Structure 1
Amino acid sequence: MRLCFGAKVSLLGAIGVSVVLAAPRMSELLEKAKNYVSEKVANMPKPEATVTDVDFTRVGGDGVQYLAKVSVSNPYKTPIPICEIKYSLKSAGREIASGTIPDPGSLKASDTTMLDVPVKVPHSVLLSLARDIGADWDIDYQLDLGLIIDLPVIGNFTIPLSQKGEIKLPTLRDMFA
């Protein structure tokens, strides 16, 4: 009787062990597949962008407008839609302008696209930056951009950009020219 009982336990034990061993093998297989896909996606070429210039464009009744020019290269053979561009302009450690440009167009296929990002700074903010403006009549700035594009298979992808520099304030000649 002990022998039969032992045989049953061994039989059940063997079945239990095979199920337990199959579970780690399946999870290892899924983990390897996940790592493979992640590696392939990480090594895919992605669009790249740079801020090429930030310049004064005009003075209006509500503020001063600047224009950031962004160069974006598309490595794919198809155009890529741009969902939106988010921007934040900071000076003296505080945000002086921010906004979103919805649906600014598409990136040209296998080419470089130039994007214009208008940034409006209210006059009241410029007055509060008087110490930074000082004698050289410019603003030290940091421009942060988030270019959100819709990549096939991957989905929405944000290209973060940041640029530091100096923006010249308009002179009287600029205002009336």
Structure 2
Amino acid sequence: MASLLGKAKNFVAEKLGDVAKPEAEVLDVDLKDVSRECISYHAKVSVTNPYSVSIPICKLSYSFKSTGREIASGTMPDPGSLNGNETTVLDVLLEVPHNVLATLVKDIGADWDIDYELELRLTMDLPVIGEFTIPLNKKGAVKLPTLSDLFT
């Protein structure tokens, strides 16, 4: 009986391994806004749904790092759904308090940008498979505006 159950598990695992799964990619991270409370960055995440049915996104969690330190983190509960057979672009707002940016003066002063690493975990509920998480990682630099950029 155990042998039969083991064969059944292997069969199901093999078949599910061949099933197409959603794919995601971080398209861009850019400066969005500067306010009294924080500096806001905007990340665009492209997610492709290979199924003909809509898939609910359970949550999107992120960690935004600069010079090896985490400067912002959070979770977007229930960011919506992915339409069937379509690519959906999700907008992720990353808010960094001003007091954290003060610790990045060396990095900013060297080249007037912020080198970053963005780690995202996109969790969705797939039919039959259950909860499925796509880990994403993007490294880059966000150029900071100069005074002339602000007044033009």
TM-score, normalization by structure 2: 0.95
Q: Tell which deviates more after alignment, 134-143 or 157-166.
A: 134-143
Out of 44, 56, 78, which is 1:103 matched to? 78
Higher relative contact order (CA 8 A, sep 6+): 2
Give aligned-pair identity as a percent: 62
Equivalence for 1:69: 44
SS of equivalent residue, structure 1 residue 51: strand
Tell me if structure 2 keeps the 8 A contact 1:70–1:115: yes
Count of equivalent residues? 152
TM-score, normalization by structure 1: 0.82
User: Aligned-pair distance for 1:42?
Assistant: 1.5
**Deviations along 1:17-68, whole A, 9 cap, x unmatched?**
xxxxxxxxx2111111101101111111000000000011110111110100
Equivalence for 1:120: 95
SS of equivalent residue, structure 1 residue 39: helix
Distance 1:149 1:85 in 2: 9
More strand by share: 2
- Are 1:152 and 2:151 an aligned pair? no
Structure 2 gap segments, 5+ residues each: none
User: Aligned-pair distance for 1:176?
Assistant: 5.5
Runs of 4+ in 1 over 3 A off after TM superposition: 173-177
Distance 1:112 1:123 in 2: 34
Change (3 A) 1:112 1:173: same
User: Aligned-pair distance for 1:148?
Assistant: 0.8
